[in-house]
């Protein structure tokens, strides 16, 4: 049985939601459309083209890497070869410098030895001339023998050597140039042991310094 208590209807009204107002929809207007995004189906040809392009890029990258590696190796070899060639050239120049220095040292040593030999010879000859008058006479005799017998000669000699030769002649020593016409001229500018013989056609210069110079050149050139 239904109760006639009005409080029941009041409580039910509080529990139930309010009624939704009814809105009439015109029949001549279409219902609203809702846009829905639909994923496009994948294209097998596009995927294959993308994969092909990716492969080509990978191959191009690999080829570029290989080419760069080869060029780097070639450049390194060229640099190493150039460095080695430069080092060899420097070594050759150093060896040439050493050879030139060695040749100069040997030449200087040879010249010094020749000069020393000539200096020793000068000392020995000077001592012989000062202590042995016959040595001076022999020098004059050899110089005079280079000229014809019938040619008058003019002999220039150091005054000390001239005194020695005169003393030998006074001591009944063998004559220097028998049968020759000789004119003796004391010359203080000549060193002892030197003699200059002047003839009509030529002059024989027997100065000691010139003789030693010729000896030095002979030793140096030899």
What are the structure tokens assigned to 162, written together? Answer: 């001239």
Length of the chain, please?
222
Label residue 83 by pLDDT band (50, 70, 90).
confident
Q: Which residue has the tokens 């003019």?
A: 154
Residue 200 CB neighbour total at 10 angstroms: 10
Lowest mean pLDDT among 30-39, 124-133, 187-196: 30-39
Contact status, residue 153 vs residue 182, Cβ threshold 8 Å = yes
- The Cα 208–Cα 139 span in angstroms is 10
- Supply the DSSP string of 73-136, one letter for each residue: HHHHHHHHHHHHHHHHHHHHHHHHHHHHHHHHHHHHHHHHHHHHHHHHHHHHHHHHHHH-HHHH
Query: In the predicted model, is pLDDT for residue 177 greater than 80?
Result: no
Mean pLDDT in residue range 178-198 = 87
Query: In the predicted model, is pLDDT for residue 32 greater than 70?
Result: no
Label residue 154 by pLDDT band (50, 70, 90).
very high
The two most distant CA atoms of the chain are separated, in Å, by 205
Torsion-angle region of residue 172: left (phi > 0), alpha (psi -120 to 50) or beta?
left
Give all domains of the chain, ordered by start, each with its CATH number.
Answer: 54-222 (3.30.2320.30)
Q: Please tell me the predicted confidence (pLDDT) of residue 2.
A: 46
Lowest mean pLDDT among 45-54, 67-76, 166-175: 166-175
Of the chain, the percentage scoring pLDDT greater than 90 comes to 5
Mean pLDDT in residue range 10-36 = 53
Q: For residue 193, what are the contacts with CB-CB under 8 A and spacing of at least 6?
A: 125, 126, 128, 129, 135, 136, 139, 158, 161, 208
Query: In the predicted model, is pLDDT for residue 155 greater than 70?
Result: yes
């Amino acid at each position: 049985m239904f109760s006639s208590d009005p409080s029941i209807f009041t409580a039910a009204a509080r529990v139930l939601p309010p009624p939704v107002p009814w809105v009439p929809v015109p029949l001549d207007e279409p219902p609203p459309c809702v846009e829905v995004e639909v994923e496009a189906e994948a294209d097998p040809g596009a995927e294959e083209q993308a994969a092909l392009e990716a492969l080509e890029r990978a191959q191009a990258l690999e080829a570029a890497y290989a080419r760069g590696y080869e060029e780097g190796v070639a450049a390194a070899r060229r640099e190493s070869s150039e460095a080695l060639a430069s080092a060899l050239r420097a070594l050759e120049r150093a060896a040439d410098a050493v050879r030139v220095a060695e040749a100069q040292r040997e030449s200087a040593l040879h010249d010094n030895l020749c000069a020393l030999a000539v200096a020793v010879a000068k000392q020995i000859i000077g001592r012989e001339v000062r202590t042995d008058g016959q040595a001076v006479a022999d020098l004059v005799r050899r110089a005079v023998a280079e000229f014809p017998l019938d040619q008058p000669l003019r002999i220039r000699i150091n005054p000390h050597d001239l005194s020695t030769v005169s003393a030998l002649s006074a001591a009944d020593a063998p004559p220097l140039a028998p049968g020759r016409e000789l004119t003796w001229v004391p010359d203080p500018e000549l060193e002892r042991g030197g003699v200059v013989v002047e003839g009509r056609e030529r002059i024989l210069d027997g100065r000691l310094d010139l003789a030693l110079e010729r000896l030095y050149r002979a030793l140096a050139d030899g």
